[in-house]
Amino acid sequence: MSAPRSQVPARRAARLVRTGGLAAGVLVLSAGCALRPGIAAQVDEETIDSGRVDDITAAVCEVEGPTYTSPLPLAALKGLVLQTLVDEQLAAEVAETYDVGPGSDFGDQQREFAAQVADQPEDVRDGYLAVLRAASYAQAIFTAAATEQLTSDGEDPADPAALERTVQGIRALAARDADIEISPRFGLAYVDGRLTADESGSVPASDSAIAAAASLSGDQAADPGYAASLPADQVCGG
């Protein structure tokens, strides 16, 4: 079957913290399994290296940090990057299930992203574009799958509410069905449909990881002084 055209706009500002990387949580914690050293997460058979998460986080901070009006805990940004990379892996499985692709405008979108950071050093540029590609690919695939599902069900995929509802349903189902393991260094769990601090006590997590996870999920929005209280090497921007 032919792949439905992605609903993701071709023209979008390249910004992880404003775009797909902060979408509703699709991260799940399988606390009982130990990952190999150097592995941040595993999604079924695919692994995500801790070093890659670190490099991408540094790149995102380098590009976006100067635009942040308040500091963001670096550990929270790292969790956000990991969430995006996990989402990318889930989307790849959804693409196979629904036989869809990211749409004909995906390449143009990536070239536009690249043009926006053309003046950055190569390592920064490569890391930043990797996570933007992951975020935009995941959103494009989930949207294409939702379009396919609505069309098959005789519903109108042009209805924004129906499309968003179906996107979220497909994303949640993919996360539920996948075997996902997250390193306890991130202190994260997926609870009641959102990414939050893991308070199960089933895995050890540092106080800083739990605090960063709470910041990422918005639990510390009422405490704007949290990030400001951290050492300079533990925050980005602001």
pLDDT value of position 178: 87
What pLDDT was estimated at residue 15? 57
d(C-alpha 57, C-alpha 224), whole Å = 22
Return the pLDDT at 17. Answer: 57
Query: What is the pLDDT at residue 80?
Result: 86
pLDDT, position 180: 84
pTM above 0.75, yes or no: yes
Region for residue 6 given its phi and psi (left: phi exceeds 0; alpha: psi -120 to 50; beta: otherwise) = beta
* Domains in the chain: ranges and CATH: 25-236 (1.10.4030)
Distance CA(80)–CA(24), nearest Å, equals: 11
- Written as tens digits, the pLDDT of the chain (238 aa) is 333 333 333 333 345 554 444 333 444 444 445 678 899 989 999 999 999 999 999 999 999 999 888 888 888 888 889 888 989 999 999 999 999 999 999 999 999 999 999 999 999 999 999 999 999 999 999 999 999 999 999 999 999 999 999 999 998 888 888 888 888 877 775 544 445 566 554 544 455 554 545 454 444 433 557 777 888 888 888 7
Helix axes 122-152, 50-64, angle to 10 degrees: 100
Structure tokens at 1: 């079957």
The pLDDT of residue 125 is 96
Q: What pLDDT sits at residue 71? A: 85
Q: Are 29 and 23 in contact (CB under 8 A)?
A: no
* Strand partners for 236: 72
Express the helix, strand and coil content of the chain in percent, nearest 5 each.
55, 10, 35
* Sign of the alpha-carbon torsion through 201, 204, 209, 211: positive
Residue 90, pLDDT score = 93
Any idea what DSSP says for residue 100?
Answer: -
Q: What is the pLDDT of residue 45?
A: 92
